[in-house]
Amino acid sequence: MSGGPAIAVREVRKRYVDGTRRLDAVADVSLEVPAGELWVLRGPSGSGKTTLLGLMGAMVAPSSGRVEIGGDDVTHLRDHHRTRLRRERIGFVFQELQLVSRMTVLENVLLPLVPSGGARPEDRARARELLERFGLKAQIDARSERLSGGQRQRAAIARALIRAPQVLLLDEPTAHLDTDNANEVVDLLCELRDEGSTIVAATHDPRLAEDARVDRVITMRDGAVVDG
């Protein structure tokens, strides 16, 4: 990994074709996210922030432009190389969280390790440490569907961190949470940033976007950056 930005998107465009219409979900965006900072992509639904987040995490391939992660150009990677890069270097928390019902919280956190052979004793120890740190020690063996909204969000963040990724990306991490739980999640993201994590979150929630501890807020509209 180079000494440059943790993530860079350079004149990136993502175009979708719907019949005869062409829609630019992201239109010629260029950004460099320094390592160890907490950034927020802000904007209403349809502004392009979730698509840009997917581009930053190699979840989505751009129609044009370039995406770099840790100085490495990932724009034209084959699908299996893109999958391996995400698995090894990116932690992603989806808006739907995607915790698996009827599995315990610990089992959910360890799921990202299955493709590489499953959890080792040290992985299980790390998972327990993360869950304890995030206030979920008592829920380690609970089924995921029994968790509250705030507990589910923290469990999903723990799962994203199990491989100690270089970058953590989150889509609407405080959506549908009450004020206390939302504040706990924001505090947690700031703590992780202070420990060296690079974090980008897409949100329309002012409780995160307007927090003074956020390093930079990027406002999007109609696929373009309009402020920040």
CB contact at 8 A, 207 and 197: no
Task: Give the domain ranges of the chain.
Answer: 7-227
CB contact at 8 A, 189 and 199: yes
The dihedrals phi and psi of 30, each to the nearest 5 degrees, come to -130, 125
Is pTM, for the whole model, over 0.75?
Answer: yes
Architecture of domain 7-227: 3-Layer(aba) Sandwich (3.40)
Q: What is the pLDDT of residue 1?
A: 43
Residues 122 and 223: their CA atoms lie apart, in Å, by 42
Contacts of 72-81 with C-beta under 8 Å, sequence gap 24+, read: 72/1
Separation in Å, CA 87 to CA 57, 74, 77, 122: 10, 14, 14, 18
Average pLDDT of adjacent 10-residue blocks, the chain of 228 residues: 81 89 92 97 93 94 94 89 89 88 94 88 95 94 92 93 94 92 94 96 95 97 91
Q: What is the pLDDT of residue 125?
A: 96
Query: Following DSSP, what letter does each residue of the chain receive, concatenated?
Result: --SS-SEEEEEEEEEEEETTEEEEEEEEEEEEE-TT-EEEEE--TTSSHHHHHHHHTTSS--SEEEEEETTEE-TT--HHHHHHHHHHHEEEE-TT--PPTTSBHHHHHHGGGGGGT---HHHHHHHHHHHHHTT-GGGTTSBGGGS-HHHHHHHHHHHHHTT--SEEEEESTTTT--HHHHHHHHHHHHHHHHTT-EEEEEE--HHHHT-TT-SEEEEEETTEEEE-
Q: What is the pLDDT of residue 113?
A: 92
Partner residues linked to 42 by β-bridges: 203, 219
Q: What is the pLDDT of residue 3?
A: 62
